[in-house]
Structure 1
Amino acid sequence: MSTTDGGSLRQLADTLSGVARTLQAEPDVETTLSAIVKAAIDYVDGAEHAGVSLVERGRIRTVAPTSEIVRTIDQLQYDLREGPCVDAIAEHQTYRVGDVGDEPRWRAFGPAAAEEGIHSLLSYRLFVTDRTLGALNLYSSRVDAFDQKTEDDGTLFATHAAIALVGAQREAQLGIAIENRDIISTAKGILMERHDVDDAAAFRMLVEASQSANLKLHQAARWLVENRRAT
């Protein structure tokens, strides 16, 4: 889509608002990511394939690719430690490439990507404040598939996508925290009944058991709940 006039800008804003509302309604991180890449294909001109390179514990992995070629191109970048998505994450920039096979910045990755049939790439850093979530990667088999206006449109989309993604991650973390709290409470109840102790004593027993078994507290609690009939 083009942003050549005010009407187009309003249309783009309305489109992105609708996308954002859709993403915020998704129930989990994986579903949110799938919605992000599908919307990228639908709304960013020239994009044939899309995926998210997600940063987790210092490592990068491809999530929700729209096709197998996305995994292939992404993995090339991870293995070679060069390419637009790797640089977008590391350098906190957007990278647009019209003919990757002739791109001097990535002498190993560029020819390898072109050999796989991918020539144009757009990689956006996905971030909120100073936290980098990963990169949104758009790929095309055509040379010069993306122009400056397309890049600008995609930047607005990537911003909405990052906000939706971090919201989904927080919801997932909250759900895990609540689940862990509940399983710990259940385990304490089992220990209180079994050993006729109060809440504090049961918690101490659970902590000691987790330390002895070298498990996290919620893992020890889950083991006790799942094996309560056998112990």
Structure 2
Amino acid sequence: MAELARAAAAPRSVDDVLNDVTREVMELIPTTDACGVLFVGKAGRFESVAGTSELPHELDRLQMTFQEGPCLEAALDEPIVRADDFAAEQRWPRYSAAAAELGVRSGLSFKLYTSSQTAGALNLFALKPNAFEGKDENIGAILAAHAAAAIMASRQNEQLQSALSTRDRIGQAKGIIMERYNVDDVAAFDMLRRLSQDSNTKLTDIAQRVIDTRGK
């Protein structure tokens, strides 16, 4: 757990950390036959990632097709969702029947919290019924917290990189305008701002257009 925490805090991609988390699930909860993560993206779109095999992706596709299942329920509503036997499960009749046909009998899903938002769910699957116990829920909850921390760190880094890129583009555009029109940086920025307002275009897009005109 300590090694995983250090890995999550290191400057690595979120995909790498999530792959570590799902692999660690297989080690720490040995009754797990497959594990993956279901992301909740923009506009409610879902993405299946970090699967330890193709099985979690196939199960995620079934849930998205039927719009029901434990992974969706964990991603959108409940913090922990456990299914002891899909062959007898009544909460998600279409998905449960399809999962049982694939030989999957048990499921355990954990909501991935990121601040006030839900990022998705960490999902465990087993080929035997009644595969998961209370202790497995405790271990899975800790691993889900590590996964959520990695997602938050990644999003914060993306926001920082986007902010730095925006600042750099505006700075380049200001420099071009200052040189082209022999004005100071305040006047150059004011020109960019007025162009943005008059054309109802984002300031960063105006800055990029100015950069693109360099040398023309």
The structural deviation recorded for 1:69 is: 2.0
- Give structure 1 stretches of 5+ with no counterpart: 1-15
**Residues 92 and 188 of structure 1, relative CA distance in 2, 3 Å threshold:** farther
Q: Paired residue for 2:116?
A: 130
Q: Does 1:45 align with 2:15?
A: no
- Give structure 2 stretches of 5+ with no counterpart: none
User: Which residue identity does 2:145 align to in structure 1?
Assistant: T
The structural deviation recorded for 1:213 is: 6.5
Q: Paired residue for 1:163?
A: 149
Q: Does 1:192 align with 2:155?
A: no
Q: Does 1:21 align with 2:6?
A: yes
Q: Paired residue for 2:16?
A: 31
Q: Write the distance in 2 (CA, Å) between the matches of 1:214 and 1:54.
A: 34
How many residues end up aligned between the 2 structures? Answer: 215
Q: Paired residue for 2:162?
A: 176
1:144-193 Cα deviation digits (max 9, x unpaired): 22222212211122123222321222122212211221122112212222
TM-score (norm 1): 0.81
Question: 3-state DSSP class of the match of 1:178?
Answer: helix
1:17-64 Cα deviation digits (max 9, x unpaired): 221111111423333323322322332332222222222224222223
The structural deviation recorded for 1:116 is: 2.6
Question: 3-state DSSP class of the match of 1:51?
Answer: strand
CA contact (8 A) 2:21 2:143 kept: no
Which of these residues, 76, 79, 85, is aligned with residue 99 of structure 1?
85
RMSD (Å) for aligned C-alpha atoms: 2.4
The structural deviation recorded for 1:65 is: 2.4
